[in-house]
Amino acid sequence: MIKNNGSIETLAIVRNKELQLAVVLSGLIFFIPAFVHQQLLTGPIINALLILSFLYLGKSRAFFLALIPSTVALSRGLLPLALAPMVPFIMISNCLYIELFASLKFNQYIKIFLASAAKAIFLFVISKLLMEKILVAALASKIAMMMSWPQFATALLGGILALLIDFSLRKNKLITK
């Protein structure tokens, strides 16, 4: 989160910067899945934005933003209609990703790795349990595969990207923590 020194004027500036950043991040989280229909490109970007949202806006705002991408992706055709029952679980997995990154007591890169693995395992298990009950076996297997290593890879790449962006912004004093 953006910190302030306590004065009313500084607080107003900080709140304005937080609002601007929230608008930019939410806009990107909304529009990227609406127009970029490639999971291996969209996934890392969205996961990076989720981690950046946590780092700069806090957990509750990041959780709110974590609900947006899968809904937009489904409505714009990035997610196949057969994945509609998975949307709530994708939302939960995004929040799990943020929560684990926020709460684990390791270095940031290990936290990203563990949060990415947990997100992928959660989605794989849910997809196996849920999709096998409502879809034919061949389609359920394809969906389970989509919810396994690609989710891990996109979460891991996105998290690393977020940490590199954060490092660069702090190094160049564009963001203060």
Residue range 12-65, pLDDT digits in tens: 555 677 788 888 998 899 888 888 778 789 999 999 999 999 999 999 999 999
Distance of alpha carbon 115 from alpha carbon 120, whole angstroms: 9
Question: Which residue is it, tokens 């076996």?
Answer: 137
Residue 6: pLDDT band (50, 70, 90) is: low
Rg of the chain on CA atoms, in Å = 17
93 vs 38, higher pLDDT: 93
102 vs 75, higher pLDDT: 102
Question: Which residue is it, tokens 């943020």?
Answer: 98
What pLDDT was estimated at residue 67?
A: 95
Contact 62, 54 (CB under 8 A): yes
Average pLDDT across the chain, whole number: 88
Distance of alpha carbon 154 from alpha carbon 47, whole angstroms: 7
| Token couple for 97 | 């990703």
pTM of the model: 0.87
Distance of alpha carbon 86 from alpha carbon 94, whole angstroms: 12
What pLDDT was estimated at residue 177?
A: 59
Report the interhelical angle of 68-76 vs 8-35 (nearest 10°). 30
Worst-scoring range by mean pLDDT, 97-101, 160-164, 168-172?
A: 168-172
Residue 54 CB partners (closer than 8 Å, separation 6+): 62, 98, 101, 102
What pLDDT was estimated at residue 147?
A: 86
Mean pLDDT of 138-158: 89
Is 80 exceeded by the pLDDT of residue 175?
A: no
Mean pLDDT of 138-143: 81
What pLDDT was estimated at residue 113?
A: 98
Rounded alpha-carbon distances, angstroms, from residue 78 to 63, 70, 73, 83, 117: 21, 9, 5, 10, 23
Distance of alpha carbon 11 from alpha carbon 17, whole angstroms: 10
Percent of the chain exceeding pLDDT 90 equals: 53
Is 80 exceeded by the pLDDT of residue 1?
A: no
Query: Domains in the chain, please, with CATH?
Result: 8-171 (1.10.1760)
What pLDDT was estimated at residue 21?
A: 85
- Nearest 5°: the CA angle 55, 163, 52 is 30
